[in-house]
Amino acid sequence: MATTTTRKVLIPADAPNRETLEEILRGDGWEPRAYRDVRDAEREVRAAPCQAVLLRHGKGGLESLEIVKRIRGVRPETFVLGMGSAHHGETDAVVDAEPSPGELLAVLRVSSAVQRAREAERLLREQLREIEKATESQADRIRELEQACSDLQETVQNAEALAFRDELTQLYNRRFFVQAISQQIERSRRDGSGFALAMMDIDHFKAYNDAYGHVAGDEMLKELARTLLKTFRRMDIVARYGGEEFIALMPEAPPGTATRFDPAAWMERVRAAVERIVESGRTTPGGKRITISAGVVVSPQDGSDLDTLIAEVDARLYRAKLAGRNRVCASPEAAAET
């Protein structure tokens, strides 16, 4: 018999920002319950099916490991998320020791897909056992179910990675980027550090797609993604923001003449690297290769909150387009000439 799952989630009573986290979870349709110790957690999972359990590592360790064992013994389908360094991989996923409520919510949403996939896999395996007991003449059906189980296992393994990656380019996706820049803004408010934000858009991409087809367009997007990863610094976070639009977070880029890192100059380097891309010798209609236009802002001088920075970097990208494309605009007035 299949058990009825709920969206109940157990949270340690000493979890950071617990009240805020519980409020956010309730708004997303979860039923958060606080637990104090191993026995308390076991009692909750025995009382009713529980979709997810949050653990805190690094505070004794053995207690966290004991909680995992108890939960697995009662509800093996429950998603276990560790906050801090996990012990020998006993949890399904691990986040920072003190993650933000938004980060936890994103991972728990992934856990819903993981749990559904696990439940479907479990049901398929039950059917497989019944068929094997009933008759050996159902060999073809058994092979089909085994393939379905294999596909579902792959779905479970890839669910968390896909939650934060763009499927085509394998860059970070927009959701992850918004979380990353929100955390950078909070960090900058605490320690006064600066950072830069660059938004890029492929010039004449629609014309390229119309001329060569969407398959060629997808290949160009993947080649561009590889070029961006090779040209930006390792500490920078590059994401596909939507369609042919990309965005990059460049930390440790404070304003002022004393800084050794110039975000605008670095974006010129990125723009030039993209201009050198040769994709099967193809060009855009009119004989030009694929190029990008970009806008650059620096925080805090161009803004200190997410909405202001996104609006301003988008406006500068637009000015770069108006100025003739294939250029970088890093000021409120005009785009830099290339």
What is the 3 state secondary structure string of 176-200?
A: HHHHHHHHHHHHHHHHCCCEEEEEE
What letter represents residue 124's amino acid? L
Q: What are phi and psi of 131, to 5 degrees?
A: -65, -40
Beta-carbon contacts of 194 under 8 Å, excluding residues fewer than 6 positions away, are: 188, 252, 253, 254, 255, 259, 298, 299, 300
Q: Are strands 328-329 and 245-251 parallel, antiparallel or unpaired?
A: unpaired
Digitized pLDDT (tens) for each residue of the chain, 338 residues in all: 444 445 888 888 888 788 888 888 888 888 899 888 888 888 888 888 888 888 776 554 456 777 788 888 888 878 887 777 655 467 777 777 777 777 777 777 777 776 677 777 778 888 877 777 776 665 666 666 667 666 666 665 555 566 788 889 999 999 889 999 999 999 889 888 889 999 999 999 998 888 889 999 999 999 999 999 999 999 999 999 999 999 999 997 655 445 578 999 999 999 999 998 876 556 665 556 789 999 999 999 999 999 999 999 999 999 999 999 999 999 887 544 44
- Give the pLDDT confidence score for residue 265 in this predicted structure: 93
Which residue out of 244, 268, 275, 333 is catalytically annotated?
244
Structure tokens at 115: 């749990």
Catalytic site includes residue 103? no
| 283: amino acid identity, one letter | T
Query: Are the C-beta atoms of residues 254 and 282 closer than 8 Å to each other?
Result: no
pLDDT for the residue numbered 15: 81
Going along the chain from its start, the domains and CATH numbers come out as 1-163 (3.40.50.2300), 174-329 (3.30.70.270)
pLDDT, position 93: 74
Is the distance from CB of 194 to CB of 300 less than 8 angstroms? yes
pLDDT value, residue 335: 47
Q: Cα torsion at 278, 280, 284, 288 (round to 10°)?
A: 40
